[in-house]
Structure 1
Amino acid sequence: MDLKLNLKLKPSFFFSFLTLIFLLKSPGLVSASNPKCISTEREALLTFKQSLTDVSGRLSSWTGPDCCNWNGILCDAKTSHVVKIDLRNPSQVVNSDEYKRGCLRGKIHQSLTRLKFLSYLDLSSNDFNGLVIPEFIGQIVTLRYLNLSSSSFSGEVPASLGNLSKLESLDLYAESFSDSGTTFALTASNLKWLSGLSSSLTYLDMGYVKLSGAGETWLQDFSILTKLKELHLFNCELKNLPSSLSSSANLKLLEVLDLSENSLSSPIPNWLFDLTSLRKLFLRWDFLQGTIPSGFKNLKLLETLDLSNNLGLSGEVPAVLGELSQLKYLDLSANEFNGQINGFLDAFSKNKVNSLVFLDLSSNKLAGTLPESLGALRNLQILDLSSNSFTGSIPSSIGNMLSLKKLDLSFNAMNGKIPESLGKLEQLVDLDLMANTWEGVLLQSHFINLRSLKTFRLNTEPNKSLVFKVPSTWVPPFRLELINIENCQIGPKFPMWLQVQTKLNSVTLRNTGIADTIPHSWFSGIASEVTYLILANNRIKGTLPQNLAFPNLNTIDLSSNNFQGPFPLWTTKATELRLYENNFSGPLPLNINVLMPRMEKLYLFHNSFTGSIPSSLCEVSGLQILSLRNNRFSGSLPNCWHQFMLYGIDVSENNLSGEIPASLGALPSLSVLLLNQNALQGKIPDTLQNCSGLTNIDLGGNKLTGKVPSWLSKLSSLFMLRLQSNSLDGQIPDSLCSVPNLHILDLSGNKISGPVPKCINNLTAIARGTTNSEVFQNLVFVVTRARKYQEIVNSINLSGNNLSGEIPAGILDLSYLRILDLSRNSMAGSIPGEISKLGRLETLDLSRNRISGAIPQSLAGISSLQKLNLSYNKLEGRIPQLLKFQDPSIYIGNELLCGKPLPKKCPQDVNRRLL
C-alpha cells in the first residue's frame, strides 16, 4: 500500500478535519460573490502569476478586478483579505500527459509576502525544476498550512521556515517527477529550525528529503514537536535509529509514524512502545534486525503495522500481535520469520474484537500446517502466505472467512487437499494456489458460490494427481479475467466451464490433459481483451480460426499439441509466438510483417510448414529469435537482412538450397546461427566476420565448399563451430587455435587435408575449462532443447577427412577435453605416452588411420573414458591388461596387436606355455 500516493489522491480525514475547524472558526470565510478584492493583494497575486509558466492555462481566470473569484484563491468574506492559495496540480496521475500539462513552472515571487493574512498555501505536484525553496516563505508568518510536496525543489530546506510559529501542517515530500528528466535533491542538514514550530505543528511530511547530514540527533530534533500527530520521514537516508530517547523528548501525541525505506540497521527500539497514541506505524525496507519485542502490547490503539521487506527480522510471529484488538493492517512480508503461526492465530481467535482486514506474511521461512484457527479471521479481506514452507491441506475453516477477497498460498510445500468449504467465499476475487503439490479432486462444490472470482492460479507437480471432476455441461457463477492452471487434469474434453470464460485477458492452461478441439467461437470471444494465451503441452487438436484481430495479445504459446492446418492469420501486437511441436502445414503468410509487426521471438520448429521463408520477415524490425527447425521449407534463405536486434536464427533440418546470404553479415547482434541439415551450397560468406558477437555456428550437413575461413579467429565469443558433413577442403587454419572461448569444434566429414595444427593447445577454453554459461543460454533460447549440444561441450571432431601427420603433443594440454574423434583420416605416428593427462576424456576414437606403436599403458588411467575405438590402424604389441574395454571390435584391424580380448595370443604367452 503506497500511503503517500493515497494521500495525494485523497487528502486524509485529518486534513479535512483541520479545514473544517478552520472554516467553523471563521464563519464569514466564503468565496466572495461581489468584488471585494483588495487592490494591493490583487497586484501581489498578478506579480506572482507573471513569475510562473502556466502551460495549461490554469491561471487564465486571474484577470479582472476581483481576485477573490479567481481559481485557487479564497478570501475572507468579511475582510476580503486573501487567506488561501491552492494551486495543487489538478491531475494526480504522475507523469501522465495531463499531469505534465497541469504543472506550473517558473519562479515563486516574493510578492506573496504582501498577503498579510494568508493562512493556506498549496503549490504541490508542480515542476519548479530544481528551484531552491525561497527563504521569504518564512516571512509569511500567518501560514497554518504549507504544502510544497512533489514540486521538484532542491537545495537546503530554509531554516526560515522555523519562523512560521502558527504552522499546523507542513508537507515537503520531495520525490521529484520533473519533466526535465533530472532528479532533484532536497536536503536538511540542520533541523534546529523545527523548534520554532514546536507549539503548533501537528503534521509533518519530509519524505525523500535527505537527512543524512542531520547527524545522530535527528530524532531528538523531531521530538521537540510536542503537538505532532503525524510524522512522515519516508526514504530520507537516515542511517541510524537511536535505541533510546532523552527524558525531554515528547512525542506522546504521535498517531502516525513512517520511517520506511531508510537504512536504520538496528533492532526495533523500546522507546516506540511509549508512543501509546500510535495508530499507524510504517518501518518497511529499513533493514531492521532481531525479533519482534513484546512491547507492542502497549500500542493498544495500533491499526496499521508495516514491517515488510526488512529482510533481517526473525523468530516466530509473536502472539502479542494477535492481541491488538484494533489492528486492521499487518504486513510482515519479506523477512526471516520462521516456525509455525499457530500461537499467533490462536491469539486472534481468542480476541473478542477482531478487526484485521489485511495480513501479509509472504516471503518468510514459516512452516508447519495451517491451523483451523485461521478461520477465526472473519473480517479478513487480504491473506497472503505465499513463498513460505507451509505443508498439508488448506483448513476447512477457510469457509468461515466470508469477507476474504484475496487468498494467496502460492510457492509453499502444501501437499494436501483443497477443501470444498472454499466454495463458500462469495467475496473472493483473487485465488492463487500456484507452486504447491496439491492432490485430490476438485468438484463443482469447490466453486459453487465463487461469484466474484476474477483471477484463478493453480498448479501442482507433474507427477501429482489433481483432477477437475465437474459436469461437462456445468456453467460456473464466475467470469474470470485471469486463469493459470498447470499440471492439473482438466481434459480430455474442453469443458463448458472454460468455454464460457470469454472475459479473459490472461490464459495459461499448460499440461492439463485437454485432447479435444477448442471451438473457434472461444478464440473469437476472448480476442478483444486477451494479452497472454498459453495452451502448451496438451493434446489439443483441430484447426485455429483464421483472420482474427487480437489488439492486446503479447504472448502466444500453443506449443506441444496436435493443432493442424495453416498458420493462423491473426493480426496481433504479440512479441512472442510459440507454435512448435504441432502439425501445422502450408506456407507462412507473405505479409507476416503486417500481421505481427512487433514480433520478437518466433518459434515454429517441428511442424510441417512448406514453401519458402518469406522475405517480409526481414521487415520485422524487432525480431530477435527465428526458429524454424525441422519443417519442410524449401528455396533459398532470404537475402534481405539488415541491421536490427536479431540474435538467433535456427532454420536447420529443412530443404533449403542456394547460398548462405551475405546480408546475414549486417546483423551486428547475431549470436546463434544454425543452418545445418539443408542443401545449402557455395562458400561461407566472409561477411559473417562482421557478426563479432557470434557464439554458436552450425552449418553442418550441407553442400558447402571452399576453405575453413581464417577470419573465424576474430570471433572471440565463439563457443561452438560445427561445419561437419560438407565439402570443405584445404587445411585447418592455425588462426583457429586463437579462438579463446571455443568449446565445440566439429569439422568432420569434409575434404580437409594437412596436419592437425600444433597450436591446438591454445584452445584455452578447453584447456582451462572456462565456461560462459550466458553463451550457452543464448543457444537454449533459440533451439529450446539444446541437450544434444550440451552433451558435446569440450569436444573436437576432425573425423572423416584427409588429415595426415601425427597427433600433436599439444593436444595433451587440453585437460578438460571430453570427446576427441580423429577417426577416418590418414594420420600416422603413435599414441602419445602421456595420454592420461586427458583425465576428463569420455570418448576417444582414433580408428581407421595409420597410427602405429604400442597402446600406452597410461590409457588405462583415464577413469572417465567410456567409449574407445582404436580399430584399423597399425598398432602392435600387447593390449594393456588394465584397460576395461573388452570388446574385440575396438582393436580389430591391427594385425600386430595381441592379447585379450583379441583371440590372437602374444608370442611371450605362447613361449611361456611351451616351457
Structure 2
Amino acid sequence: MNGIIPESVGQLSALVAADLSENPWVCVVTESHFSNLTSLIELSIKKSSPNITLVFDVNSKWIPPFKLSYLELQACHLGPKFPAWLRTQNQLKTVVLNNARISDSIPDWFWKLDLQLELLDFSNNQLSGKVPNSLKFTENAVVDLSSNRFHGPFPHFSFNLSSLYLRDNSFSGPIPRDFGKTMPRLSNFVVSWNSLNGTIPLSMAKITGLTNLVISNNQFSGEIPLIWNDKPDLYEVDMANNSLSGEIPSSMGTLNSLMFLILSGNKLSGEIPFSLQNCKDMDSFDLGDNRLSGNLPSWIGEMQSLLILRLRSNFFDGNIPSQVCSLSHLHILDLAHNYLSGSVPSCLGNLSGMATEISDYRYEGRLSVVVKGRELIYQSTLYLVNSIDLSDNNLLGKLPEIRNLSRLGTLNLSINHFTGNIPEDIGGLSQLETLDLSRNQLSGPIPPSMTSLTSLSHLNLSYNSLSGKIPTSNQFQTFNDPSIYRNNLALCGDPLPLKCPGDDKATTDSSRAGNEDHDDEFEMRWFYVSMGPGFVVGFWAVFGPLIINRSWRRAYFRFLDEMKDRVMVVITVNVARLQKKCKWERRQHGT
C-alpha cells in the first residue's frame, strides 16, 4: 500500500490493534488519524528500509484517546523532540522508537512512568543524557539504546534482562564487578564503541546462557579472565581494539559453538592455544594486531567453515602450513606483517572460496581490510571481499599460482623476497582490483596479459628488477604515476622518463608524418581557395573579348559553324561507306 493513510482510520472506535508496517507510505500523520481510537492498545508502523517517508505532526499538548501496551514506530519521523504524548501512556510494555530522528534527552517523566517493560528500543537516534537505573523489566526483557549519544556510567539494569545493546554511545567507566550476579540471565551483551574501561569482571563467569559477547572498541585492560566454562551456546566473542594483555586462555577451547573469535587490536602475547582446534565451526578467526608468536598451527586447516583468517601484525614465524589450502570457504587470508619464511604453499590456488560467491555470511560486525592501498572498514558488504595479504614477511621463491581464484579482489605480496617472473596467467584474475607486488626481487617483463585486468584500480610494482616496455592499453592508460614502477631500472616507456628503444624513431617518424600531413592539408586548402578566382579569371579571359568585340564574336561563331559542317560531312561520308560495305558482304554470302 502506498500514498497516504486516510484520516477515516481515526473513526474506527472498536479498533484494538493497527499494524501498518512495511508499506511505502508518503504522508503526514496528525491527531485526526487517532481522534476516536478509544480501544486501541497496539500500534505498529515500521519498515526495514531506513528511508523515512512518514512524519508524525501532533501538538505537544495532545492527549491521545487510547492507552497503548504495544508501540512500535520504526523509520518514522517523530523528532526532533521526544514525543510528549507518551506522558499519558503508563501501560506500555513494548516501546520501539527506532530511527525516529529524535535529537533530545529523554525527559524525567518518562523514567517515572513506573512501566514494566518487555522491550525498550530507542536505537538509531541522537538521544543524549544519562540513563537512570529506575526502569523495571519483565522476565527475558530486551533493551536496545544503540547508536545514540548517551553518556555517563554503565547503566545498572534489572535482574530479568536477557539482551542489552548499548553500542555506539559514550558510556564510560568500568563494568560493575558484580555484573554477572546482577544480570545472570543475559544472552546478548553488546557494548562496543563506547569509552568503557577497567577490567572484564570475573563475575561474568556466572552468565551461563551467554550467546553473544561484544565489548570491542573500548578501553578495557588487563588479562582475558577465565570465564569460559559452562557456556555451551556462546557463538560470538568480540574483544577487538582494547588494551587487553597476557595470553589467550586455553579454556576458550571449550566453546564448542564458537563461530566468531575477534581479539584483534590488543596486546596479547604467547602462542595460539592448541585447545582452539576444538572450535571447528568458526567462521571468523581474527587475532591480528597483537604480540602473538610461534608457528602458525596446522590444525587451522581443520576449520572447514572458516571464512576469515586474519593474523596480521604479530610475531609469527616459520612456514605457512599447507593445511591452509584445505579451507575451502576462506575468502579473506591476512597474514601480513609477521616473520613468516619459506615459500608459499603451491596449493594456495586451490582456495575455492575465492572462486565462488558466499551469500550466507552471518557476522554483521566491522572488519578493517587493506584494499586499494587503504585500510577500509567493511560491515554489511564484508561477504563481497576476497583478499589475500601476505605482505611484509620473509617469504621467498616464485609467486604462487593463483589463476583459479577468479573472484579474488585484492592480492598483496609486497615486502618479501619473491623472485622470478610475474606469471603470465595472472591476467585470468578478472575481478582483481588491487595488486601490490612491490619490494620483492621479481624480474622479467610485465606480462601483456595484465592489460586484461580491467577491474584493476590500484597497482604497485615498485622496487623490483622488472624490465622491458610498460603496457599502454586498457587499465594501464590510467596508471600514469611513475611511483608505481619506481626502482625498476630496466623498465621503460610512459610514464617513466626512460624511453624504450625505437620510441625516438617512432616519435620522429610520427612527427615527420604529422608535418607532411600538415603540409598536404595546407596545399589542399590553398588549392580549393584558388579555384574560385581561377575560374573567374579564365572565364572572362576567354569570353570577355567575344562579348566586347563584335568582329571577333562573328569570326568565332563562323569558325564554329564551319567546324560543325566539316564534322557532319565526315560523319555522313563514313556512314555511307559503311552501309555500302555491309550490302556487298551480304551479296557475297547470298543473303
Give the TM interval when normalised to the shorter protein: 0.7 to 0.9
Distance 1:723 1:485 in 2: 42
Please say if residues 571 and 595 of structure 1, whose CA atoms lie closer than 8 Å, have aligned partners that are also in contact: yes
Shift of 1:887: 2.5
Equivalent residue of 1:828, what SS? strand
Partner residue of 2:115 out of 499, 521, 527: 527
| Residue 500 of structure 1, CA deviation | 2.0
Contact 1:649-1:782 within 8 A present in 2 as well: no
Instruction: Return the offset for 1:892.
Output: 1.5
Cα offset, 1:639, TM superposition: 2.2
CA deviation profile, 1:66-106 (whole Å, cap 9, x unmatched): xxxxxxxxxxxxxxxxxxxxxxxxxxxxxxxxxxxxxxxxx
Distance verdict in 2 for CA 1:718–1:556, change over 3 Å: same
CA distance in 1, matches of 2:288, 2:174: 25
- 1:508 to 2:92 alignment: no
Which residue is 2:492 aligned to? 898
Q: CA deviation at 1:557?
A: 1.1
**1:620: which partner in 2?**
207
Per the TM alignment, residue 661 of structure 1 is displaced from its structure 2 partner at its CA by 1.3
1:781–1:899: structure 2 CA closer, same or farther, 3 Å change rule? closer
Whole-Å separation in 1 of the counterparts to 2:52 and 2:435:
43
Alignment partner of 1:434 out of 2, 11, 21: 21
- From 835, 838, 843, give the equivalent of 2:429: 838
Partner of 1:268: none
User: Are residues 702 and 539 of structure 1, via their aligned partners in 2, closer, same or farther at CA, if it must alter by over 3 Å?
Assistant: same
Equivalent position of 2:183 in the other structure: 596
- How far, CA to CA, are the matches of 2:365 and 2:216 in structure 1? 13
Report the AA paired with residue 339 of structure 2.
K
For residues 634 and 621 of structure 1, the distance between their equivalents in structure 2, rounded to whole angstroms, comes to 23
Are 1:852 and 2:430 matched, yes or no? no
Partner deviation per Cα, 1:272-311 (whole Å, 9 max, x = no partner): xxxxxxxxxxxxxxxxxxxxxxxxxxxxxxxxxxxxxxxx
Deviation at 1:473, TM superposition (A): 2.4
Partner Cα distance (2:391, 2:365) in 1:
30
* C-alpha separation in 2, matches of 1:788 and 1:436: 24
| Pick aligned residue for 1:723 from 311, 317, 328 | 311
Contact 2:229–2:254 (8 Å) recurs in 1:
yes
What residue in structure 2 maps to residue 829 of structure 1?
Answer: 420
Give SS of 1:584's match.
Answer: strand
1:583 aligns to 2:583 (yes or no): no
* Mapping 1:706-855, distance limit 5 Å: 706-766=294-354, 768-769=355-356, 771=358, 773-774=359-360, 776-777=361-362, 779-780=363-364, 786-787=378-379, 790=382, 793-808=385-400, 810-855=401-446
Asked if the contact 1:639/1:662 (under 8 Å) is kept, the reply is: no
2:85 maps to 497
Q: Does the CA-based 8 Å contact 2:56-2:77 persist in structure 1?
A: yes
Residue 633 (structure 1) aligns with: 220
Task: Tell me by how many angstroms 1:619 deviates.
Answer: 2.0
Deviations 1:795-852 (A, max 9, x none): 11000111111112x3223233221110111211110122212222221110111111
After superposition, the Cα gap between the structure-2 partners of 1:904 and 1:573, relative to the gap in structure 1 and judged at 3 Å, is same
- Which structure's CA Rg is the greater one? 2
CA distance in 2, matches of 1:781, 1:871: 35
Alignment-mate amino acid for residue 592 of structure 1: F
Residue 489 of structure 1, CA deviation: 1.8
Which one of 647, 650, 667 corresponds to residue 238 of structure 2? 650
Q: Does 1:608 align with 2:202?
A: no
CA distance in 2, matches of 1:609, 1:880: 54
Read off the aligned partner of 1:585 and give its amino acid letter.
S
Is 2:71–2:95's contact at 8 Å kept on the other side of the alignment?
Answer: yes
Alignment check: 8 A CA contact 1:626 1:782 kept: no
User: Shift of residue 637 of structure 1?
Assistant: 1.2
Q: Is residue 417 of structure 1 aligned with residue 1 of structure 2?
A: no
Determine helix, strand or coil for the equivalent of 2:317: coil
Q: CA-to-partner distance for each residue in 1:639-697, whole Å, 9 max, x for gaps?
A: 23114211111111111111111111111111100111111111111111111111211
| Alignment correspondent of 2:124 | 537
Report the residue type matching 1:501 in the other structure: Q
Q: 3-state DSSP class of the match of 1:450?
A: coil
Q: 1:556 to 1:722 in 2, by over 3 A?
A: same
Query: 1:164-199 CA deviation, whole Å, 9 max, x = no partner?
Result: xxxxxxxxxxxxxxxxxxxxxxxxxxxxxxxxxxxx
Report the alpha carbon displacement of residue 521 of structure 1 after superposing the two structures with TM: 4.4
Question: How many Å separate the matches in 2 of 1:547 and 1:611?
Answer: 25
Which of 152, 155, 158 lines up with 1:565 in the alignment? Answer: 152
Change (3 A) 1:826 1:783: closer
Is contact 1:854–1:876 with CA below 8 Å preserved after alignment? yes
Structure 1 letter corresponding to 2:100: T
Question: Per-residue CA shift, 1:592-627, capped at 9, x if unaligned?
Answer: 223322211111111111111112222211111111
Distance in 2 of aligned mates of 1:453 and 1:417: 20
Give the 3-state SS of the residue equivalent to 1:665 in structure 2.
helix
1:482 is matched by which residue type in structure 2? Y
The equivalent of 1:452 in structure 2 is 39
Shift in CA distance, 634/816, structure 1 to aligned 2, threshold 3 Å: same
Distance 2:458 2:293 in 1: 32
Contact 2:301–2:327, Cα closer than 8 Å, also in 1: yes
SS of the equivalent of 2:180 reads helix
Which structure is richer in relative contact order (CA contacts within 8 A, separation 6 or more)? Answer: 2
Q: Do the aligned residues in 2 keep the contact of 1:576 with 1:599 (CA within 8 Å)? A: yes
Shift of 1:549: 3.6
Judging changes above 3 Å, is the alpha-carbon distance between structure 1 residues 488 and 914 closer, same or farther for their aligned structure 2 residues? Answer: closer
Moved over 6 A (4+): 781-785
The one-letter amino acid paired with 1:539 is Q
- Aligned-partner Cα distance in 1 for 2:434–2:200: 39
Please give the alpha-carbon distance, in whole angstroms, between the structure 2 residues aligned to 1:682 and 1:480.
Answer: 56
Structure 2 partner of 1:381: none
Q: Is the 8 A contact 2:114 2:136 kept in 1?
A: no
1:554 equivalent in structure 2: 141
Query: CA deviation digits over 1:555-596, x for unaligned, max 9?
Result: 211111111112221124332221111111111122222332
Paired position in structure 2 for 1:697 = 285
- Which letter maps to 1:819? T
Q: Provide the C-alpha distance between the structure 2 equivalents of 1:839 and 1:488, rounded to a whole number of angstroms.
A: 43
1:478 matched to 2:70: no
- In structure 1, runs of 5+ residues without a counterpart are 1-412
Query: Do the aligned partners of 2:364 and 2:380 also contact (CA within 8 Å) in 1?
Result: no
Structure 2: state its 5+ residue gaps: 369-376, 510-591
**Equivalence for 1:666:** 254
Identity of aligned residues (%): 45
2:398 is paired with a residue whose SS is: coil
Distance 2:131 2:152 in 1: 7
Q: Secondary structure at the match of 2:459?
A: strand
Which is helix-richer, 1 or 2? Answer: 2
Secondary structure, aligned partner of 2:44? strand
Counterpart AA for 1:902? L
Higher strand share: 2
Q: Secondary structure at the match of 1:551?
A: strand
Shift of 1:879: 0.5
- State the one-letter code of the partner of 1:611: G
Tell me which amino acid in the other structure corresponds to 2:467. E
Superposed displacement of residue 464, structure 1: 4.2
Instruction: Indicate the SS of the match to 2:349.
Output: helix
TM-score normalised by L of structure 2: 0.80
| Conservation of the 8 A alpha-carbon contact between 2:318 and 2:339 | yes
How many residue pairs are counted as aligned between the two chains? 496
Q: Following the alignment from structure 1 to structure 2, what is the Cα–Cα distance between the partners of residues 782 and 501?
A: 38
RMSD after superposition? 2.2
